[in-house]
Structure 1
């Protein structure tokens, strides 16, 4: 994501003149450390100072322990949050929050050349809107290259041939993206335009599993918390974004890894999942192997799937066994996903800037299981005990639904690849309150009538 310049908003921060440092003053020394957060490279590359050797406490040593298993030593620690130490995860999460606060106070002027457009390629209305947007962008600037989904290349409604015949300058500038291009070369795109509802934004998160271009979402769905802009105003919105710059909000994503139980002796009846994850066997890296990893924007759900009986799920936080959940399932949500499945299951509304993980049971078998909010520095693990009656099923933002057999579990931790969402420049500070008031009619009721005093 090339950046031309950064513009500070004059109305966002009010400081006394005495607190402003002259531009000629030497930069003060700092002890900022490198973190595992990728997003820092968007604005600056921290070059922290190495810490001096010192005596570490027992707690400090405990925090340096890896929080999950890597039996073959093949995983790249810089790409998998589950393999970071407790301190690294804490530093990473803090770094993302710190950068998010900075981004909320500035406008980033992008050097836009490659524009990615995402919409439902099977929806007639959205195909027409996509074609309209593509034609407008290609006419606006001869340097723009616009990418649309590969399936539209031969779509009769999109009419690629007719679009190219209308203006010869479009040749070579209208391009088509594939899932492989998004996965292998996400840095190709300077900005992503999403046309649809929240599901389209979640699809963008699924396509860009690591690096995500800033996503500017136009509302064309039925219910939208993540779609911030009115499509009818797209010429003005895009012109202003490209000319004046954008303000982005970094949405926390989770990294979820499926861990498969390894059949060591063929007898799972005598194995104990709690013992293997936090007991004496927890150091044995041959009990489980990683299967697949997903970065999610809304939630990870572990449920009973097609089984007629409820799920039995062991829930762990770091090196502690929290509880055994007996329910239809459990929803582990990001703050962004608090208004989705989490809310429907009875969880709390949560502002997306909060550094938390929300855990909500789905139709729990006990009335005392209340939703719980945990810090985002915890590594959660939700697993199926070896003596469970049935398997459970896991889904990631409603996708990639897989079976968890007895002994399998899912590791959930803060991802080092957050999701940058473009905010409206004129109402960014109250954007979330506006969205829940608009979509949920939050706290909406007829105003109480005043008393009419009777004069005697």
Structure 2
């Protein structure tokens, strides 16, 4: 049974006597023990460092039960040395100290984040070549609750699932409970058993109990898939997306054939593609004493003042599938931004904004801003300026083991605004910044079994008419 994908990476050698293979592989979250997770100055990872202990956390999510042989993914124990310890700082610019709720990817050491990213990529390769058979019980149906045409399709799918198998419990959005177009009362009147098997999900249920659902059926366009990513900020159930939107980079299935598609998926299994997500955290400046009347963001993040715990505090974290955008917002002038990578100051930018995109998001705002197309299997971070003031600023592709920070300098004329997959738009005042790093919670999308290997090329050819032109005519030689 698969109830959301989560991976636990081992950070120690196997204990004496060995461990049952069934205990080595869970679903797709990479877990590090809270007691040993170290944080470094400026909310970045250290260059090197000891691996923390990661005790096994048992959940209801068992990817290993879907695999015939799975030895688990683990790394050997590393002994700390003096240099490593000297590079570690326990406070992530958070005077309240460490808490489990703030155990984010940005506070892992360089070694930890590299191992985490590598482990996810290795599992993604394995999942891409096998078929996962699911014991489906709880089906999550997601659609735009304000679109009348999609509401009728949601009812159609819900009714089909309830009739198909009495073992299925179907969850639809709570706003549809009293919706006249969905007409839940008439649906329940068909069969009394539907009363207990038709349930309603809320944002809180998605956040606190994502393991409740075995699979997500998304009815809509790419925005609906992004909405699924926003709802499930941690563990994400496999998402099977039906194409009912405009483009369809992420929606792989034809709605007209949904009975056959779902029958085959539930009976024969699915193939999952793991998409890299980013974790973005807003860091707010804190007030300091009178002796700090003139403050420098560069000095506070990578200079001697970077050791000070009281310069910034975290203010909200988001896992995103497409991109993090920091732009000028309603201001009539350009944004002034500082960009940092790990413990280096990359550059100062004057532009309409900066787009930090995942490989999945390379075809979204990144592409419109002049960034590169990128295959979703690439372990990279795409950094693209939006209408930069200098022609020399070119898009850059960075490894996914870097922790980026984009900040508004203290002497900036105006504030900037940050958005996360186009949502949760917040103002960044001078002195604030955003950290962006690879997330421990990837996004599992279901691929069509018959065309999974060429799916991405098909999507850009179909939606962008990529490299499409009239074929050049051949020469016809003249013969005298």
Q: TM-score, normalised by structure 2?
A: 0.85
How far 1:208 sits from its partner (Å)? 0.2
1:7-18 to 2 correspondences below 5 Å: none
Counterpart check, 1:451 vs 2:475 = yes
How far 1:269 sits from its partner (Å)? 4.9
Of the structure 1 ranges 167-176 and 118-127, higher mean CA displacement relative to structure 2 is found in 167-176
How far 1:454 sits from its partner (Å)? 1.8
Select which of 274, 277, 281 maps to 2:298.
274
Structure 2: 5+ residue runs without aligned partners? Answer: 4-17, 32-58, 65-69
1:37 corresponds in structure 2 to 30
Counterpart check, 1:385 vs 2:378 = no
Select which of 338, 341, 344 maps to 1:320.
344
Select which of 325, 339, 362 maps to 2:386.
362
Counterpart check, 1:98 vs 2:122 = yes
1:9 corresponds in structure 2 to none
Structure 1 residues 274, 62: closer, same or farther in 2, change over 3 A?
Answer: same
Root mean square deviation of aligned Cα:
2.6
How far 1:76 sits from its partner (Å)? 2.3
How far 1:70 sits from its partner (Å)? 3.5
Confirm or deny: 8 A CA contact 2:73 2:119 kept in the other structure: no
Write the distance in 1 (CA, Å) between the matches of 2:327 and 2:75. 46
Structure 1: 5+ residue runs without aligned partners? Answer: 4-25
Select which of 77, 92, 100 maps to 1:51.
77
Confirm or deny: 8 A CA contact 1:313 1:384 kept in the other structure: yes
1:397 corresponds in structure 2 to 421
SS in 1 for 2:460: helix
Write the distance in 1 (CA, Å) between the matches of 2:29 and 2:93. 19
Write the distance in 2 (CA, Å) between the matches of 1:142 and 1:33. 30
Select which of 251, 254, 259 maps to 1:227.
251
Structure 1 residues 122, 33: closer, same or farther in 2, change over 3 A?
Answer: closer
2:194 corresponds in structure 1 to 170
How far 1:264 sits from its partner (Å)? 1.2
1:2 corresponds in structure 2 to 2
1:7 corresponds in structure 2 to none
How far 1:438 sits from its partner (Å)? 0.3
Counterpart check, 1:109 vs 2:133 = yes
How far 1:37 sits from its partner (Å)? 1.9
Structure 1 residues 52, 104: closer, same or farther in 2, change over 3 A?
Answer: closer
1:374 corresponds in structure 2 to 398
1:136 corresponds in structure 2 to 160
Confirm or deny: 8 A CA contact 2:349 2:388 kept in the other structure: yes
SS in 2 for 1:452: coil
Per-residue CA deviations over 1:55-102 (Å, capped at 9, x if unaligned) read 68x5x6687667953332233288410111111111001111110000
Counterpart check, 1:147 vs 2:168 = no
Select which of 263, 271, 279 maps to 2:287.
263
Write the distance in 2 (CA, Å) between the matches of 1:231 and 1:67. 50
